[in-house]
Amino acid sequence: MNPFSQYIKAIGKGQRAGRYLTQNEAHDAFDQLLTGRATPEQAGAFLMLLRVREESVEELAGFVSACRQHLSDAYSQINATVDMGCYSGKRRHLPWFLLAVKCLAEQGERIFLHGTTEPESKRLYLHDVFTALSLPISQDAQHAKSMLDKQGFCYVNLADCHPQLHQLIALRTLFGLRSCANTLARMLNPSQSPISYHGVFHREFDERHIQVAQLLNDHNVSCIRGEGGEVEVNPEREFIQHIARNGESQAVSFPTLLEQWQVKPRELNPQALVDVWTETTQDAYAHQAVMGTLATYLVQSNNIDVAEALAQAKNIWRARNRDFYACIN
């Protein structure tokens, strides 16, 4: 029997005879996927079986540890302080969290952004926004470090920092469905930043990310159900920020930040990000999305309460350099 077949057999026998993999088994299984020791047919069967029954916390931890084992050490040497995986893309709103990232960069943080694109999803991805606004996209660790030194944030496509995991995500074009690879990419932290911030779409996945972080002994991770599944607060609803910090877990409740629902934009034009930053236009939704996203980061990094975090977020926003392209070009 092919060594990988045992894992397909374990998870594919059905509700009664099937079982979850241990963390060590999950690590080995995913290591075989990443190194090509499983055939393409086996990889597809394995990922889709997991898609149907969902992964356990132990399985996700094993998968993540296997993915991290194949990361280049170069990205861990760029001295990033914050890691944000951006894998959902936007459909209803622009990625306003990018303005929060710029604010944090002006405060001295070094934010490592990573993501991918899935053209068939017809969403707006961060790669597309960077391209539209002529923001640099880093293709290697050396350029990423230079961008962190120059502007305090950088964006790297997953294909350039973890090509094996990117290939698994790209299988969506064959399956018509996403796999757990998208979840793993969010948890990856290629830069080994001391702070990792995740956004998810589905209920209960935010808590699952924190449970995985604890199994992996990650020291400072937070996760929210973000707008569109990204690392961005939806100000039109209350939410909970789940945090894993030094072995302890915490659930922080945020209130609704907008009293009235706003009309969704007819189109997602990245130029609006610049216009809001420079105050060429006023956008209540965008402003509160940025304030909320900034506040969640401050709660995570500084371990302060929500009211204080929101007050600090307002001050940081007021103090920003209104030249959008300062330190960029």
pLDDT (tens digit per residue) in 231-273: 999 999 999 999 999 989 999 999 999 988 777 788 899 999 9
pLDDT (tens digit per residue) in 183-217: 999 999 999 999 999 999 988 889 999 999 999 99
For residue 266, how far is the Cα from the chain centroid? 26
Domain holding 299: CATH number?
A: 3.40.1030.10
Do 41 and 86 have their domain in common? no
179, 50 Cβ separation under 8 angstroms: yes
Angle value at C-alpha 188, between 268 and 30, nearest 5 degrees: 120
Q: Structure pTM?
A: 0.95
Do 227 and 245 have their domain in common? yes
Q: Give percent of the chain above pLDDT 70.
A: 99
Edge-to-edge strands of the sheet including 220-225? 153-157, 111-115, 82-86, 195-200, 220-225, 239-245, 248-254
Q: Choose one of 69, 95, 125: the last residue of a domain.
A: 69
Domain holding 48: CATH number?
A: 1.20.970.10
Residues 6 or more apart whose Cβ sits within 8 Å of residue 10: 18, 19, 21, 25
H or E element: which one contains 300? helix 284-302
Residue 74 lies in a domain: no
Residue from 307, 299, 207 nearest 257 by CA:
307
pLDDT of residue 1 exceeding 60: no
Q: How confident is the model at residue 275 (pLDDT cuts 50, 70, 90)?
A: very high
The type of residue at 261 is W
Tokens of 194: 């001391």
Q: Choose one of 47, 69, 91: the last residue of a domain.
A: 69
pLDDT (tens digit per residue) in 107-139: 999 999 999 998 778 899 999 999 999 999 999
Do 138 and 22 have their domain in common? no
Q: Choose one of 69, 90, 110: the last residue of a domain.
A: 69
Question: Domain residues for 40?
Answer: 5-69
